[in-house]
Structure 1
Amino acid sequence: MIIPIGQQDSTVRRLPWVTFTIMILCVLVFLGTLGPTRRLHRQASLKLAEAATYWMQHPYLKPDKRLKGLLTGGSGQREEAMMELVRQFGKKPPPTAPELKKQQAHLEELVEAAFSLVRKIPAYRWGLVPAHPTATTYITYMFMHGGWLHLLGNLFILFLTGPFLEDAWGRPLYAGVYLISGIFSAFMFAVHYPHFQGPLIGASGAIAGVMGAFLIRFWSRRIRFFYWFFFVFFGTFEAPAWLMLGLWLARELVFAQAKDTLAPGTGGGTAHWAHVWGFGFGLLVAFVVKRFDLEERFIHPAIESKITVVNNEPIERAMEAYKAGDVEQAWRLLEMELRKNPDNLDTQLALWNLAVESGRARDAVRHAKRLIRSSLRSGNEEGAVVVWSELMGNVPGTRLDPSTAVSVARVLADGGRLEEAERALEALTTLPTMEVPAGPLVRGARLAVEHRLPISRLIVARLM
């Protein structure tokens, strides 16, 4: 068993309200329908069993197609086998036509009573039934789940992927991709299984769309997994998103094909094809976004304009005080603004520039570190590297936290600045061992080995 448990970078710029809202709605819908589902399932099962038993005892009667579909799963082979079995053990036709008509009417009454209860079951009422879909159920089915494991499994995967895609793409695009992935996967499932009488429920088609988009957007993002085999072998490992999500898609394709081969025409159980089509839709959207640089040209600036405080009056007042020679007043104004809006990049940068220009860089080390982290989170990697270089030049020996140090080193190494990358990675070897988490240490070792940095031996030694 292999379960994803995290990823290398778990920071986001804003709270993922769309993801949290989806998760809350799924939980509320599940709790709200749990009681009625159990009660109606029990009543409907008894009625269906009564109808099925009566038909098997009277195989010469014409069963409702819904009853046959439910008993056979829509499979022609199963239907033939069942009919043969019923003919062998059922009763012979009655001698008179009136008696035959009476029995047929009784069977139809039993079936209608049973299915009137089935239609009231929340999964059938709000789930998507391919044999007779409705416009509403293409959306509502995404919030229905068949049990606690079904619900928690879906929400767990959404929690591991959704917040980061929402942070990168913004709430409107992310919400649209989620909903349309769910609608598209359900539509294609209904096209593939047009006669299936059971309900399609669950958020997995929509979540698969998020996973497909995640694969393209965070191609090389390393995901951490927990493995457990035979109750003896267990541990954790990291692997890139392109590998593990690619393997997941391949598995879903194999299972979908195997299901169609072994039980053609049946759509019950896990909806593997819905997963495949949802994933494919997410891949397509992410490819378009990447191909036309939509994130860099439109999405990122729009998000930054919302999370950056537009009112620069405190900064302007601080700059006026600095020009007038009152450095202390300028410093107080900027620190006061940061206490109100600690994530304001403009104020962080203004305070750091003031510190460098006034010779007080050592007093602003913590602000510089925060500025580097904020710049990395917002995608301004070059800006983060500039601040880091200024910090090293003005306050030699300063060490970033391990995770930030590895991120800065990666940007430097990718730009060919290997000596500076090694200098950034020194945080992994100079800080006390207890202050260096395993994740950054592993990523730092991998980066150092990849670029053949001399410090790689020291980092690997710490891992051992």
Structure 2
Amino acid sequence: MLIIPAENAVNWKRPPWVTLGLMLTCLLVFLFYQGGDSQKLEQAVSQYLESELQSLEAPVYEDYLQRQIRFEGAQDRVYELQQFQELRDDNEQFWLAVNLLMDREFYQYLQENQSVIWSAGDRARWNEQRTPIEDRFIQRLSSFELGLVPSELSLYTLITYQFLHGGWGHIIGNLVFLFLLGFTVEKALGPARYLVAYLLCGALSGLVFTAFSSGSPVPLVGASGSISGLMGMYVAIYGLQKIRFFYFLGVYFNYFRAPALAMLPVWLGKEIYDYWFAGATGIAYMAHAGGLIAGAGLVWMLGRSWLQVREEFFEPEAEEQDARFTNGYAQAMASLGRMEFDLARRQFEALREHYPDRPILLEHLYRLAKLRPDLPEYRDRTRELMNDAMARRQPEQMIEVWQDYLGKGECHQPLSAEDHNRVLFTSLKQQDLKAAEKAFERLRSTGEEVLTAEACRLLVEEFEKRQMAPKARHYRQLLQA
């Protein structure tokens, strides 16, 4: 059974560049760096067969497997023993050699027990011929050069192993899950913090794997530990919020909704159960468990500081916002149609809190306020609409709103001198001298001498420039008065 979160869709207007970069890096490493592994392995097998080392190792290997099954209870190795015996019976020398060369625990067993297994002559021959194969070919395979080997742990391999993979099936599966989880976590954390958190989860996952495989010579490769970290971060980011999960069972698949954190113990329990009971599958279950714990733990410990989720992450996408706005706007307009003006006002105000960049909402609020010109709300909405008109470079609307207010609201709640002064400046820029003179009269009536004098000078200059001497003389006299 497979369960993965499926709450978000990719916004290709803002692509997840770091996630795509990680995917591309893994693919390029697999193609151009790991691509030489097959040739190295073929050379190793060729030299191995030429040295006839299988005649020394094959009998020991069969006995080694039987001992593990009989005395150590490794029932998962029964299939390996049967497969080895079939290869031997079918004289499949190439694949026999591959099995003997790549079973790293068996090679470690030979090194530790060679004095018991072989005579002095066979032992000398084995060391003489097997060591060069190891040094020249096996240890130069990508999984040994940059993979995470628990018995030889180094800091740099905690990072490099995350970009190596064991085959096409392995890398394709990991890249699919990296994309499905990565674009959401990258959106939540931001590119830089996401990249650091991804690599850190992979490193912590590798340390957990090493702790449970201490002394093992088998290398760990793959991004699955880091991806498990993304899963842990994903559910920790959403917390108890219900989100969608996709599940696949056999040929049946569907979606369900559940609190995000509810899935963490399910995933973690599955990995731990498989570690103890699934047998030798080649899957690093404890690396997955370590990644889950690391991802969730990082968000919980650092979620209010360095790893804080960006506020815009929880905002709906543009399409969803448009749908919500349309629905809310329709409800408010329906209230207007029923003449439920107080309800409509509250609905438009609620919409404006969420969509402050939609000028139509302010216009509706202005018209509703105009129904009661005796109240201060009408003056306040008038100022807001005048400011909005100027911000959107619509001076004609600003002047029109001002003139409308003079006829309905000025007698109840007068505008300030600054309001009239802004209209005067705007009118002069628009060469609307009639509105400018009207604004001057309103400004003059407020008693603000400094603003009135400055406005008077502007009018004198404007009328002189237009050679309208009587008008210029009139305002000069006012200025001198």
Tell me the TM-score normalised to structure 1 length: 0.53
Once the two structures are TM-superposed, the CA of residue 290 in structure 1 deviates from its matched residue by 4.2
SS in 2 for 1:131: helix
Q: Distance in 2 between matches of 1:149 and 1:31?
A: 14
Q: Distance in 2 between matches of 1:163 and 1:58?
A: 50
Is residue 393 from structure 1 mapped to residue 425 from structure 2 by the alignment?
no
Q: Distance in 1 between matches of 2:168 and 2:152?
A: 27
SS in 1 for 2:286: helix
Q: Distance in 2 between matches of 1:30 and 1:391?
A: 54
Q: Is the 8 A contact 2:2 2:247 kept in 1?
A: yes
Once the two structures are TM-superposed, the CA of residue 205 in structure 1 deviates from its matched residue by 0.8
Structure-1 residue corresponding to 2:246: 225
- Superposed, 1:181-196 pairs within 5 Å as 181-196=201-216
Amino acid corresponding to residue 105 of structure 2 in structure 1:
G
Q: Distance in 1 between matches of 2:316 and 2:225?
A: 38
Q: Is the 8 A contact 2:3 2:247 kept in 1?
A: yes
Q: Distance in 2 between matches of 1:388 and 1:239?
A: 24
Q: Is the 8 A contact 1:372 1:387 kept in 2?
A: no
Select which of 236, 239, 242 maps to 2:254.
236
Structure-2 residue corresponding to 1:256: 275
In the superposition, relative to structure 1, how do residues 8 and 209 fare at CA in structure 2: closer, same or farther (>3 Å)?
A: closer
Structure-2 residue corresponding to 1:44: 44
Select which of 154, 164, 177 maps to 1:134.
154
Structure-2 residue corresponding to 1:285: 298
Once the two structures are TM-superposed, the CA of residue 388 in structure 1 deviates from its matched residue by 6.0
Q: Is the 8 A contact 2:104 2:217 kept in 1?
A: no
Amino acid corresponding to residue 237 of structure 1 in structure 2:
Y
Moved more, 187-196 or 144-153: 187-196
Task: State the superposition RMSD in angstroms.
Answer: 4.3
Once the two structures are TM-superposed, the CA of residue 275 in structure 1 deviates from its matched residue by 0.9
Q: How many residues align?
A: 295
Once the two structures are TM-superposed, the CA of residue 255 in structure 1 deviates from its matched residue by 1.5
Structure-2 residue corresponding to 1:9: 8
In the superposition, relative to structure 1, how do residues 205 and 57 fare at CA in structure 2: closer, same or farther (>3 Å)?
A: closer
SS in 2 for 1:269: coil
Amino acid corresponding to residue 201 of structure 1 in structure 2:
V
Select which of 119, 123, 144 maps to 1:124.
144
Amino acid corresponding to residue 300 of structure 1 in structure 2:
E
Q: Is the 8 A contact 1:372 1:384 kept in 2?
A: no
SS in 2 for 1:295: coil
Q: Distance in 1 between matches of 2:263 and 2:163?
A: 26
Q: Is the 8 A contact 2:201 2:229 kept in 1?
A: yes
Structure-1 residue corresponding to 2:283: 270
In the superposition, relative to structure 1, how do residues 178 and 8 fare at CA in structure 2: closer, same or farther (>3 Å)?
A: closer
Q: Deviations over 1:120-165 (max 9, x none)?
A: 1112212111111333222111110001111111111111111111
Q: Percent same amino acid among aligned pairs?
A: 26
Q: Is the 8 A contact 1:26 1:144 kept in 2?
A: yes
Amino acid corresponding to residue 105 of structure 1 in structure 2:
A
Q: Distance in 1 between matches of 2:26 and 2:198?
A: 14
Structure 2: stretches of 5+ with no match in the other structure? 62-98, 337-349, 352-481
Structure-2 residue corresponding to 1:454: none
Is residue 54 from structure 1 mapped to residue 53 from structure 2 by the alignment?
no
Q: Distance in 1 between matches of 2:105 and 2:307?
A: 45
Once the two structures are TM-superposed, the CA of residue 182 in structure 1 deviates from its matched residue by 0.7
Is residue 73 from structure 1 mapped to residue 105 from structure 2 by the alignment?
yes
Tell me the TM-score normalised to structure 2 length: 0.52
Q: Deviations over 1:200-240 (max 9, x none)?
A: 100011111111010111244533435353x6xx3423243
Structure-2 residue corresponding to 1:300: 311
Q: Is the 8 A contact 2:6 2:244 kept in 1?
A: yes
SS in 1 for 2:266: helix
Q: Is the 8 A contact 2:231 2:292 kept in 1?
A: yes
Structure-2 residue corresponding to 1:457: none
SS in 2 for 1:135: coil
Q: Deviations over 1:292-351 (max 9, x none)?
A: 69636xx438x99xxxxxxxxxxxxxxxxxxxxxxxxxxxxxxxxxxxxxxxxxxxxxxx
Q: Distance in 1 between matches of 2:47 and 2:138?
A: 10
SS in 2 for 1:227: strand
- Superposed, 1:27-426 pairs within 5 Å as 27-47=27-47, 50-55=52-57, 71=103, 73=105, 93=119, 100=120, 102-116=121-135, 117-219=137-239, 220-225=241-246, 227-229=248-250, 234-240=252-258, 241-258=260-277, 269-290=282-303, 295=308, 299-300=310-311, 373-374=317-318, 389-390=328-329, 392-394=331-333
